[in-house]
Chains A and B, each alone.
Chain A
Amino acid sequence: MSARAAQSSVAAHDRGLLVAAEVQVRGVSAQVHVAPGEVVALLGANGAGKSTLLGVAAGMLRPDRGRVELDGEVLLAVGSSGGSGAVPGGPMNRPVDLPPHRRGVALLAQEPLLFPHLSVLDNVAFGPRAAGASRRAARDAAARWLERVDLTHLADRRPGQLSGGQAQRVAVARALAAQPRALLLDEPMAALDVTAAPEVRQLLRRVLSEAQDGAGPGQPPQPPVLLVTHDPLDALALADRAVVLDAGHVVEEGPVREVLSQPRSAFAARLAELNLLAGTAAADGLRAESGPTVAGVLDPGCSAGDAAVAVFPPAAVAIHREHPATGVSSPRNTIPVLVSAVEPRGALVRVRGSVEADPASISPGNSGPGDSGPVDSGPVGHPAAAPVLAADITAASAADLDLVPGSRVWFAVKAAEVAVHAARR
């Protein structure tokens, strides 16, 4: 894919943000393209090269070879062009390396990094001031941005007087007020506590979709957004596309839900240690695209009718041969599943299977190929869209249930264990 991208880079990447970099000491050689208005989640473990790519895009890091383009303008072009790696050096006569302040690429980091000596208002006004606006015009613009993030009442505060969530929301306003041509988000929720993270995620969802619609005040429409995260929820909530980095290379790329629910690479599978069901939020859960309605707890930022995803951990799933009795105290979800793989994992066994569209077709007994080894295959004989779910059960239960690939079972999960998050459509 990289060779193809390299060949077509000029044609395909004349709009949006292209980041291609090779940094030998960090073992990174990767390329990412973000179309105008698109949000791309850059997923990967620590040290996978996410921050390296971001640093190259922002101008903090000069790669051995690399190229950064924004809407056709070359921001960086260094290294020789004759290489055969994933990174196109491009035909160049002299290296280009624009300093960060001339790139129009704003960065929102894990920590808000609000300037402690400036008020909230002046923090947000920093970008417009740096761009040459008068103090008054900059403050006016800043006030409008504070209004958009609902923090007008904190305008005169010092950053030290804000909570973590408030500070990060101010940082969002500050980054957007600079009217960047591209936006880089470096794990913006990672340092926040459990109550602040959804709040900021929701805000980003809102402002990013507004930006996509070109609705921001004076905002040039559709800046490409590159989001670095290791949290699948962030990707689901904010991104259109996911790019998975492992050991410095792109290992997987595609629509977020596809990458997370049907990981093709071992790494993406590890990354998505959660069961995901995509659909539309309902009052008390989610209507899955694949059919079943799942009862769950709605995230605060999510309301009925929104595109959403139901998330629950494999450990919360119980497996039954027969349709279990409906729970008395708490509502329970029962989902018909065709087992596709049974993998021992220490004391536990991970059972994977695809959701069956028609519960009526369930029949007890073994009908699978009888293969007892771990099978990592797609949902054979089913539409490709059928979501795959996983359950972690004890080895004893697995033996009792006599599970093999092909078994037809019921996955049961309490509604309280299912979180329904808003997702980007």
Chain B
Amino acid sequence: MRRLRLVALAVAGTAALLLSGCASSTPTGTASSTTTTPAGSPSSSSLVSTGTLTVFAAASLKSTFTTLGEQFEKAHAGVDVTFSFAGSSDLATQIQNGAPADVFASADQANMTKVVDAGLTAAAPVPFATNVLTIVTPPGNPKGVATFADLAESGTALVVCAPQVPCGAATERVEKATGVTLTPVSEESSVTDVLTKVESGEADAGLVYVTDARGAAGKVTEVTFPESSGAVNTYPIAPLSGAAQPELAKDFAAYVAGPDGRAVLQAAGFGAP
């Protein structure tokens, strides 16, 4: 076992060296970001707030957080915000395995709880947005889907998220609340896969988050349904204990949950927590 560990270390070390050598051109290194710090910024504030902030955020937050990141950089001279967008469970796993993240924004409570339970958060998670499901159809809604119950009709090829992922869990909650049993032709593992299948016309209808439907406006037709309020998804954000920039991480979390963040999120279709 000990020998095995040694070999593992050797391999990992070599691989890491090779990979880091290959990856040095991407602007994630702290060293490269400090060199880009404007020389004219006040030295007193730059000491506190200069550097790179790495934010792990749910894939559904991509457009809003990109905007928020730019705004945050403007407000904090010398700060460089980089993002890693992926499924919330992927991100939680990566953080648990020691990924260098400063802030985590999850699309659901469950994955945030995993990180909290692992003792990796620096402060209690704060809910900053909510999201609800909506129906999407190919442009023009050829099957004339009007209500949630219409989705259960046999002639309608419905695509949803699998129960294992947050949007699928939300779908199950709506099913339970309404008593409608859906028979999807496919249970995808991400919202994007659901959207793709509706956009391409393979599916007649899909269940995705409102914000995803807005993002695909023009390529899909959105059909809102009142029962969606039965499954409101809450997005929590928290600074992480392993943060290289603890203060900056707290600042960013507060910024997102504050009025500036609210404005951007609301514009994209997110609800208030």
A–B contact via C-beta, under 8 angstroms:
no
Question: Interface on A for B, CB 8 Å cutoff?
Answer: none
